[in-house]
Amino acid sequence: MAKKSATKSKRQLIREQRIKKTQRQRLITILAVVGVALIVAAVLIGPSLRSSLAPVGEIFEIEPHERPFVDGRAMGLADAPVLVEVWEDFQCPACKDYTEAVEPLIAETYVANGDVRYVFRQFPFLDGQSATKESQKSANASMCASEQERFWDYHDMLFANWDGENRGSFSDNRLTAFAETIGLDMEAFDKCFDDNTYKAEIDEDKNNGIQLGVTGTPSVFVNGQAITPGFVPSFQEVSAAIDAELAALQ
């Protein structure tokens, strides 16, 4: 009887060892699957998480100023005889220069007297392989500001706080801070921004620009005709094109 009991115990021991081995293999498999899932999740949401956790840093405030006949992301009378459209990327250094040097003169000289309707078109193309998508996100944020009739103030905040392409100037935290700085309704802005509400409209702007031959920014069109394609136009060049259109109407 003792021998039989010992044999049974040995078999039982072997069986228990096999069960433990199977359990270990299952645990290793589960851990491997979880590990792969975590890696995939980190790749997919990591950039956004880093952007949302990035420090805000220094913010340069702007002094809001009146623009003539503001209508969303347009200025000027709806029935103005000349339409000026400008495709821009908020990360574009040439757009910053154009905005500061040329745009105010067009507004003062032609928009204020009713000759020109001036429209900002989105063309976020400088994201490249960047995971943070600062061009796309800043475009969407500006549209959320436009929803509260503050597009141009937010537009000025973006250019005033730009500091290089895809370097964190337009992280999620900073884009939110810009909105707060100019006094937007933050609950409405946050929902709009988080939902990427204006992606379709931004894509439409960009696709329309591509169809017109836009390959870089700023690209300025006067009544559908490109001004100095591939180069940043001066006020004199834009002015000459506007004057020619006005003269043709007389």
- What does the pLDDT look like over 113-168, one tens digit per residue? 999 999 999 999 999 878 889 999 999 999 999 999 999 999 999 999 999 898 99
Ordered by start, the domain boundaries in the chain are 70-248
| Closest by Cα among 179, 214, 208 to 95 | 214
Could you give the 3-state DSSP secondary structure of residue 208?
A: helix
For the chain, where are the alpha helices, taking DSSP H only? Answer: 2-53, 93-101, 103-106, 134-146, 151-160, 172-181, 186-194, 199-212, 235-248
Examine the pLDDT at 10 and tell me if it is beyond 50. yes
Q: Is CATH 3.40.30.10 correct for 70-248?
A: yes
**Distance from the Cα of residue 173 to its chain's centroid:** 13
Q: What is the pLDDT of residue 129?
A: 79
Name the average pLDDT for the chain. Answer: 87
What pTM did the predictor assign?
Answer: 0.78
Dump pLDDT digits (tens) for 25-72. Answer: 776 766 655 554 444 444 444 444 444 455 688 999 999 999 999 999
The CA distance from 130 to 47, in Å, is 9
Q: Which helix (H) or strand (E) holds 88?
A: strand 82-88
176, pLDDT greater than 90? yes
